Amino acid sequence: MAGAHDERSLSLRDLQPSTLDVYKPVRNSVFFLSLFCCLLYAGAKEAEACGQQTHTWISLKALELLPESPLRRLLSDPAQHEMLVNGSMFPDGGYAIDHPYGEAAHWAPFHRAYLRWIQEQFDAPYDDPVAATHVAFLMGLTSHGLADEYYDATFFAASRVHDARSDDLDHHDNFDTQTDVLFAAASGHRLEPSATLPMEPILHIFDHVLDLEVEADQIQRGQELLQTAAWLVATGSQNPSEIATAHIAYPWAGEHIDDEGVSGSPPVIAEAVAAQWQALWAVLQGEQSFNDLPVSFSWPREGEALSHRQGGVPESRVAVILSAAIDRAAQLSEFGSVVRDGDSVVPHSSAFFYRDRSHVVVADPETEWPAAERLQFVLPEGLETYDGDVLDEPVSIPFRTVPVVPEPPVEQGCSCSHGEGGPWDAFAWMLLLLGINLRSGNRHHGRSG
């Protein structure tokens, strides 16, 4: 994904020089994988974002997280599995052949054009088998785009700090491939997808909506190269040497790649994608506008606390995901966001991480967030989406920096109670012991008489 927000200012803050450069290919298979993927993504400015195994896992996990609903039933149909998976990979195909269609396929103009094409070609609720195929592909596209945005804004940004090398500012250039190996190894997800695509709407959108020249055979070749990349990662993720190489290169990322408590990790992205899909499904059905649900997901999760408060520490970053892409990202600075601690305003910076036509807003404290059970990050009214919807009132996203302290359990009954029986069992034992003592006393009296 080109045009990423530059995180080097963060990564240079507290770095110590590396004493040993151990990141080097250790076997021919490692070298081949790295070389192939460098060539594969030669058209991209930086090798950030998620790899193909990670992308497909995120979509399949998001499907599991959906509540019982028509959308879940549609995507769970085995007939739609192929298009969901292939849509989750499709945007990277352009990078593989150094063609701009790949970059274009990551963003809202392509996604919204596909949504409108579905609405024009089919009738709601789009559960016809042919319509459902296109819905599944659209959901895969959306998953891919959002996953890259959220991953780069949080997880990749954190690795740029924790796994940085002060003597090598390009150290993360192979991050997507290496973390794809790490995640496939950790999750056991090793999918070998097909290269089937719904070519008719794809070509229509590029030609008639985005005015971008591309041929079907170019797109097909890009998808087939993604197939090869997925196969290589699936193979490499079973190679101990390759896994070790990736861990050495990115130890923090390797430790947290499947951590549900780290913002932007694939399991957390799957939660965000599932929420985004539900919002998109409602828009597709004509049941919901942007103002009905402006925010689809935020980090920290409701009721959970940020793990750090200090500015410059990646874990102090708040992330907010809009249900629809913004038009001009500069609107946020023009209108101004606010973080409130009661009646106080907390100095902070905020921005759409990938700028225009993106979804993910990040907020960082200027010095540190206050220790508080309830802070409010407020998005201003007036924000306009790519679709032309305007936020008609401010939206407050609560977050906390102090963990919830569980209340001590309330003791019930007598403190002398033991076990599961409670006070009545204790009382019964007392009566029994009293009866034994009385009988024993009577026997003694009888013998002395």
> Residues 320-331: pLDDT tens digits?
999 999 999 999
Write out the H or E segment, with its range, that includes residue 435.
helix 423-448
Q: What is the pLDDT of residue 133?
A: 98
CA–CA separation, 156 vs 162, rounded Å?
10
Cα separation, 380 vs 336, whole angstroms: 6
Q: Each residue of 121-154: b (16+ CB within 10 Å) or e? A: ebeebbeeeebbbbbbbbbbbbbbbbbbbbbbbb
pLDDT > 90: percent of the chain: 76
More confident residue, 7 or 425: 425
Q: Among the listed ranges 125-129, 141-145, 173-177, 188-192, which one has the minimum average pLDDT value? A: 173-177
Q: Is the pLDDT of residue 298 over 60?
A: yes
In tens, the pLDDT along 27-64 reads 334 444 444 454 454 444 444 689 999 999 999 999 99
How high is the pLDDT of residue 49? Answer: 81
- Rounded to two decimals, the pTM is 0.83
Residue 70 has which token pair?
């028509």
Asked if the peptide bond before residue 300 counts as cis, ω within 30 degrees of 0, the response is yes
Report whether pLDDT(182) > 50.
yes
Cα 104 from Cα 281, distance rounded (Å): 22
- pLDDT score of 449 more than 90: no
Q: What is the DSSP string of 75-93?
A: HHSHHHHHHHHHHHHGGGH
Integer CA distances (angstroms), 173 to 137, 148, 157, 160, 186, in order: 29, 15, 13, 11, 22
pLDDT bin (cut points 50, 70, 90) of residue 406 is: confident
Domains of the chain in sequence order: 8-284 (no CATH), 296-399 (2.60.40)
Q: Dihedral (C-alpha) 409, 410, 414, 415: value to the nearest 10 degrees?
A: 40
Across 304-313, 349-358, 428-437, least confident range: 428-437
- More confident: 175 or 267: 267
Taking Cα atoms as reference points, which of 178, 174, 189, 187 lies closest to residue 234?
189
Higher-confidence residue of 192 and 411: namely 192
189 band by pLDDT with thresholds 50, 70 and 90: very high
Q: Which helix (H) or strand (E) holds 397?
A: strand 395-399
Angle (deg, nearest 10), helices 216-236 and 78-89: 90
Residue 171: which pLDDT band, with cuts at 50, 70 and 90?
confident
pLDDT at position 2: 53
At residue 52, the 3 state secondary structure works out as helix
